[in-house]
């Protein structure tokens, strides 16, 4: 989730923030340099109304274990967003990890979640790579079933692939030090990392907002707040060579694009359809023709494996990487090995790779059921 990483070098580095009580007092009236203050003053009334509607779909995630004392109330762990009116909820995996009782409380139009009905959630689908989880309301807090006619306020999912740099964003969630009231702040899209599936923003993303909603000016879900990186420098006050304090110069919030939520919902629907088909007509089903692409990235000179290289698969002949052209991708592990994150049909493709201090790599390849693992050899920039 969101925590401080130690600064061993004393240099300015990116670190994940844990918000302390003292820091929250500052955040209430100011922001980090480079991170926006809430721009609510200039927000048109019609946009405010749409954002308030989105707040009704964003709730507080709380957890406990069945072994806890009965008198122990669930502990707040983060935020969640209702994405379907039948009670399907998206959140970060960290909000419910290691707990067997998960609850959602909805706050309505910006009110407190505490007196609101609490619902039990059941995990449906977890994507550890992107730290996302789909859950469904299965009963009220006491275990009583929800009437089938009941509908939950659900948010409309926007197309995160169309979002542009400097567009307005609004972060909705339940910060840990913000009490039981939903909190909203605004910012802009600072950038997009297509390969790693991130949207970057200067809006405040702090502990407890994780798993909440990032909405555009239409009130549509375009991202899930997931982490924040701070640029900070250690300060050695007593000259012993170890930092006694840290000075923070800025922070960038990272959101998982809503397109990942759309894909998880589609996967959930496919699993349901396959389950129904199997129960209706149990028989052998031909295996999928989709193929997982694997390989190794190594140095052209010496053959040393290259860790952290990014490998992307594009339609044949495609020269630029965009959200629409990038079919699947992966990052190499410490041994230079990779497996693209989505299988693809057999056919011809263009594969691209990039790595630090290496020349970009491009090659047209054939993907088939019996294709061997790819070997990508990257040349040093000094040999260019």
Identify whether residues 67 and 125 lie together within a single domain: yes
- Strands 245-257 and 374-378 turn out to be unpaired
CATH of the domain at 193: 2.40.10.10
List the domain range (segments joined by +) for residue 114. Answer: 55-140
Identify whether residues 164 and 249 lie together within a single domain: yes
Identify whether residues 315 and 193 lie together within a single domain: no
- In this prediction, residue 181 carries a pLDDT of 80
pLDDT digits (tens, 9 = 90+) for 234-293: 676 777 767 777 666 567 899 999 999 999 999 999 887 766 555 554 433 333 468 899
Identify whether residues 175 and 42 lie together within a single domain: yes
Domain annotation covers residue 266 = no
Identify whether residues 46 and 71 lie together within a single domain: no
Identify whether residues 248 and 171 lie together within a single domain: yes
Phi/psi class of residue 208: alpha, beta or left (left: φ > 0; alpha: ψ in -120 to 50)? left
Identify whether residues 39 and 175 lie together within a single domain: yes
Identify whether residues 164 and 40 lie together within a single domain: yes
Q: 183 pLDDT exceeds 80? A: yes
pTM of the model: 0.61
- In this prediction, residue 19 carries a pLDDT of 33
Query: 13: pLDDT confidence band, cut at 50, 70 and 90?
Result: very low
Domain annotation covers residue 202 = yes
- In this prediction, residue 249 carries a pLDDT of 59
Q: Quick check: 80 and 104 in contact, CB under 8 A? A: yes
Domain annotation covers residue 148 = no
Domain annotation covers residue 273 = no
Domain annotation covers residue 176 = yes
Domain annotation covers residue 279 = no
pLDDT digits (tens, 9 = 90+) for 187-240: 999 999 988 899 999 998 888 889 999 999 999 999 999 988 866 666 767 777
Show which of 140, 168, 199 is a domain's final residue: 140
Identify whether residues 113 and 136 lie together within a single domain: yes
Identify whether residues 66 and 115 lie together within a single domain: yes
Percent above pLDDT 70 for the chain: 78
Q: Total structural domains in the chain?
A: 3
Domain annotation covers residue 114 = yes
Across the chain, mean pLDDT equals: 81
pLDDT digits (tens, 9 = 90+) for 126-176: 998 899 999 999 999 888 999 988 999 999 999 999 999 999 999 999 987
Identify whether residues 40 and 71 lie together within a single domain: no
Identify whether residues 253 and 163 lie together within a single domain: yes
Domain annotation covers residue 37 = yes
């Amino acid at each position: 989730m969101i925590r401080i990483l130690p600064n061993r070098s004393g240099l300015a580095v990116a670190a994940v923030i844990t918000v302390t009580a003292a820091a929250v007092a500052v955040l209430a009236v100011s922001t980090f340099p480079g991170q926006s203050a809430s721009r609510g003053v200039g927000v048109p009334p019609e946009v405010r109304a749409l954002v308030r509607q989105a707040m009704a779909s964003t709730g507080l995630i709380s957890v406990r274990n069945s072994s806890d004392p009965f008198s122990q109330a669930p502990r707040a762990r983060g935020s969640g967003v209702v994405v379907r009116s039948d009670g399907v909820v998206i959140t970060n995996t960290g909000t419910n990890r290691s707990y067997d009782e998960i609850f959602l409380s909805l706050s309505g139009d910006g009110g407190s979640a505490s007196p609101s009905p609490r619902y039990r959630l059941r995990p449906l689908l977890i994507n550890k790579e992107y730290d996302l989880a789909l859950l469904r309301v299965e009963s009220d807090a006491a275990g009583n079933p929800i009437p089938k006619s009941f509908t939950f306020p659900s948010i409309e999912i926007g197309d995160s692939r169309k979002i542009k740099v400097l567009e307005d964003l609004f972060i909705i969630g339940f910060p840990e030090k913000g009490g039981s009231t939903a909190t909203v702040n605004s910012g802009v899209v600072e950038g997009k990392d297509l390969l790693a599936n991130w949207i970057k923003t200067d809006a405040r993303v702090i502990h407890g907002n994780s798993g909440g909603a990032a909405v555009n000016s239409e009130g549509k879900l375009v991202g899930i707040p997931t982490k924040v990186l701070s640029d900070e420098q250690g300060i050695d006050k007593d000259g012993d060579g170890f930092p006694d304090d840290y000075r923070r110069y800025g922070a960038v919030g990272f959101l998982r694009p809503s397109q990942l939520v759309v894909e998880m919902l589609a996967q959930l629907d496919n699993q349901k359809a396959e389950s129904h088909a199997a129960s209706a007509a149990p028989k052998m089903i031909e295996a999928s023709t989709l193929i997982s692409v694997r390989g190794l990235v190594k140095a052209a000179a010496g053959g040393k494996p290259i860790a952290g290289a990014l490998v992307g698969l594009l339609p044949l002949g495609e020269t630029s990487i965009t959200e629409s052209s990038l079919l699947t991708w992966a990052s190499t592990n410490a041994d230079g090995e990779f497996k693209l994150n989505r299988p693809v049909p057999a056919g011809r493709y263009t594969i691209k790779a990039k790595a630090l201090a290496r020349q970009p790599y491009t090659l047209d390849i054939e993907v088939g059921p019996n294709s061997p693992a790819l070997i990508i050899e990257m040349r040093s920039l000094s040999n260019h």
